[in-house]
Structure 1
Amino acid sequence: MPSVSTVLVVGGGTSGNAITVLLRRAGIEIDLVETEPGWNIRGSGITLQGNALRVLREIGVWDQVLEHGFPFNTLGLTAPDGTVLHIADEFPAGGADLPATLGMQRPALQRILTDAVRASGARVRLGCTVKSLTQDDTGVEVTFDDGATGRYDLVVAADGRRSATRAMIGITDRPESLGMGIWRAPAPRPAGVERSDLTYGGPCYIAGYTPTGDNSIYALLVERQRDRDSLEHLDLAAEMRRLTDGYGGHWAQIRESINDPSQVNYTVTDRMLVEGPWHRGRVVLVGDAAHCCPPTLAQGAAMALEDALVLAELLNTRDTFDEALLTEYHARRVPRVRLVVDGSVQLCRWLLDGVADADVPGLMARTMTALGERP
């Protein structure tokens, strides 16, 4: 019998949707609230490595993910002119029966997960979030911003790196900028693109692309962070095209497809790992609310999914809810998350500092080998 009967999930992103489905499987009553009326069905592309795919399979959506994604098992390293310098076999961190990596359109993944939440029987309220909460020994009283109230055995804060719930319970950790900016845009898949290719150097720190389906890719460029005010009056598509001018190979075709500014996304890199417990009483953090890092290892979604899996496993299999349960969740997650956060930040800093002899392949290989163990 599960250790809790009623749970509020705050946030309908990757971790919030995942834990909702996993807890509903054990018969726990779930309310999920998401501040975005459109449930965050947006974005360009996402790279999911084997340990993320393993969790998606356990959630029960692997077949849909495979149908809408593009699996591959190698990573290409190219020169700025497009010359392929090296093709590396990627480590199958989810096991030999799953691809090492799968690219897909981020909106497609979100639709798959939100459909699974709906099918689970969870109660979903969009355009709504928590206004305040009060805890006692047996539960959490919650007031929502639409005036409604509720009482729950547990609140799961899955409301992202700027988590308001985290602040409400007195955890003061905040994301810190690392000084890198990332451009992303979807594009048609050029013939011959069968894997992620990355170029270190040229006009940007990194230029890369990942297939996200039979007919699509997403392209990314990593440069030094800009002041957002400097982007306000730019044509983002024209600026991203300009940054690709120094790259050859498939970039010639990709460049021609970057025409719609509304499809270009610019974000900055942050780093956060909540030090100390990830809970206060009966409110617990998952995903980006507890940790975030640069996408240099492509492990952000994987870590969020693993959080959901481990916390759901403990809640679904323990007869009683107590402090030890949430302490065990934290103890199981911190070593893996710290490995990813530290490694991602190290890669970022090597690039910013121009370290020519940085052991990028070695760091990546060591990290993925460690992540091959189950969380």
Structure 2
Amino acid sequence: MAVSRVLIVGGGITGSVMALALARRGVAVDLAEISPVWFGVGHGITVQGNALKALRQVGVLDQVLARAVPFDMMRLRNADGSLIAELPTPHTGGEDLPATAGALRSDLQSVLCEAVYAAGVQVKLGLSAHRLDQSPGHVDVVFTDGSTARYDLVVGTDGLHSRVRELIGIDVTPEPVGMSIFRVVGKRPPEMDCAEVYYGGPRYKTGYSPISADQCYAYLLDENLDRALIGPNAPLSLLRERGAGYGGAWGEVIASLPADAVVDYRWIEAVLIDGPWHRGRVMVAGDAAHACPPLIAQGAAMCMEDAVVLAEEIAGDGPLDAALDRFAARRLPRVRTVLRNSMTLAEWEIRPDTPGADPGRIMTETLTFLTDAA
């Protein structure tokens, strides 16, 4: 095996799945999470079939599906709620898995946290990596609390604005795409049985997915508003104002939100390290290496695939450099395609009169491409 002890920096979806994937192959794993309380944010997430496949590979699929809503179709609607088309969703994880599942992100993270502890991973909360000193055979890590430890490999899964990426001198920074997103969890109407997207209204688009028996995840894609709004406390009144003009079930969900509904607002950013993701024995993965607009709902899936593919490669025989090169060769073409097509969709949302714009086609083509194994 190329490594025996690994540090993962960042305890979100990527880091958690990676910790499980490595631990299942006999690697001793430490996981450092900067938050003193380990939890996922509360809004919803759409988990495509290839993400479900990764969750099965690390042993938590049943627990996730027990808290999720599976579905195999997406509907496209006009702003007034009238139907444009129904699109069967390709089974990117195989025909024996749902094409898609909607879930509460905090439910998914809770399942992962429980499994990580159960797998014997050593979880370090409230700290991160401060300094990385590399030698030919190891990495000496100084943590933000002053403690130190030695590892065979360090993996930064610390998100879009990765500190590990900075520490190893990868000079790639996220760039705003030109659109933003409001997210909220609301009451699920009884007739909501799959994800639906609304086009043709005053903003770029709106949509929702069922995430439990009585909850749904709703969102609004808009232009970039004041940066001061960014965070989990955007005004509900602003969401309602910006979302005025959309009817159907989306309008019903937004109208029924209580006054204390938690509205998350973010500018959408993208990043891609279009080359090796490692420097010596330190690497980045997940959103730290690639992040795309959420228009194909493949962000989490790409991160989870990174996790299981890395575990496959470094668990084999041979030197670590070769394993990391194989990992990059498997991952780069796949994430590059998803990012390129997601950016195309973003461009079409911003400029809907673009000749040849066909969001349904490019979403279906991308998901069909992803039915091939990672």
What TM-score does the superposition give when structure 1 sets the normalisation length?
0.96
Does 2:29 match 1:42? no
Deviation at 1:322, TM superposition (A): 2.7
Match of 2:257 in 1: 258
Q: Distance in 1 between matches of 2:235 and 2:297?
A: 24
Match of 2:322 in 1: 324
Q: Could you say what secondary structure the match of 1:355 adopts?
A: coil
Q: Distance in 2 between matches of 1:9 and 1:154?
A: 9
Q: Distance in 2 between matches of 1:306 and 1:151?
A: 27
Match of 2:296 in 1: 297
* Identity rate, percent: 43
The question of whether the paired residues in 2 share the 8 Å contact of 1:61 and 1:112 is answered with: yes
Letter in structure 2 aligned against 1:360: P
Match of 1:240 in 2: 239
Match of 1:285 in 2: 284
Map Cα deviations across residues 24-52 of structure 1 (whole Å, 9 max, x no partner).
11221111000011224223000011111
Query: 342, 345, 352: which one pairs with 1:344?
Result: 342
C-alpha change, 1:49 and 1:231, in structure 2 (3 Å) is closer
The question of whether the paired residues in 1 share the 8 Å contact of 2:184 and 2:261 is answered with: no
The question of whether the paired residues in 1 share the 8 Å contact of 2:51 and 2:301 is answered with: yes
Map Cα deviations across residues 199-245 of structure 1 (whole Å, 9 max, x no partner).
1121211110100011110100001111213679x961111122232
The question of whether the paired residues in 2 share the 8 Å contact of 1:240 and 1:258 is answered with: no
Task: Tell which deviates more after alignment, 251-260 or 148-157.
Answer: 251-260
Match of 1:363 in 2: 362
What TM-score does the superposition give when structure 2 sets the normalisation length?
0.96
Map Cα deviations across residues 224-269 of structure 1 (whole Å, 9 max, x no partner).
111213679x961111122232111113421233334561000111
Q: Could you say what secondary structure the match of 1:213 adopts?
A: coil
C-alpha change, 1:345 and 1:26, in structure 2 (3 Å) is same
Deviation at 1:323, TM superposition (A): 1.3
Deviation at 1:85, TM superposition (A): 1.9
Does 2:189 match 1:190? yes
Letter in structure 1 aligned against 2:189: P
Match of 1:210 in 2: 209
Q: Distance in 1 between matches of 2:181 and 2:7?
A: 33
Q: Distance in 2 between matches of 1:231 and 1:173?
A: 22
Q: Distance in 1 between matches of 2:14 and 2:332?
A: 16
Match of 1:274 in 2: 273
C-alpha change, 1:367 and 1:120, in structure 2 (3 Å) is same
The question of whether the paired residues in 2 share the 8 Å contact of 1:241 and 1:258 is answered with: no
Q: Distance in 2 between matches of 1:255 and 1:160?
A: 30
Q: Could you say what secondary structure the match of 1:330 adopts?
A: helix
The question of whether the paired residues in 2 share the 8 Å contact of 1:52 and 1:305 is answered with: yes
Matches within 5 A, 1:51-70: 51-70=50-69
The question of whether the paired residues in 2 share the 8 Å contact of 1:314 and 1:325 is answered with: yes
Map Cα deviations across residues 301-326 of structure 1 (whole Å, 9 max, x no partner).
0000000011000112x123331111
Match of 1:82 in 2: 81
Q: Distance in 1 between matches of 2:320 and 2:63?
A: 36
Map Cα deviations across residues 249-297 of structure 1 (whole Å, 9 max, x no partner).
1134212333345610001111111022100000011100100010011
**Number of residues of Structure 1 aligned to a counterpart in Structure 2:** 372
Does 2:152 match 1:147? no
The question of whether the paired residues in 2 share the 8 Å contact of 1:43 and 1:265 is answered with: no
The question of whether the paired residues in 2 share the 8 Å contact of 1:9 and 1:158 is answered with: yes
Task: Tell which deviates more after alignment, 44-53 or 222-231.
Answer: 222-231
The question of whether the paired residues in 2 share the 8 Å contact of 1:204 and 1:243 is answered with: yes
Q: Distance in 2 between matches of 1:374 and 1:252?
A: 38
The question of whether the paired residues in 1 share the 8 Å contact of 2:173 and 2:271 is answered with: yes
Does 2:86 match 1:103? no
Letter in structure 1 aligned against 2:58: I
The question of whether the paired residues in 2 share the 8 Å contact of 1:235 and 1:261 is answered with: no
Letter in structure 2 aligned against 1:146: D
The question of whether the paired residues in 1 share the 8 Å contact of 2:35 and 2:125 is answered with: yes
C-alpha change, 1:125 and 1:101, in structure 2 (3 Å) is same
Deviation at 1:92, TM superposition (A): 0.8
Query: Root-mean-square deviation (CA), in Å?
Result: 1.5
The question of whether the paired residues in 2 share the 8 Å contact of 1:236 and 1:261 is answered with: no
Letter in structure 1 aligned against 2:65: L
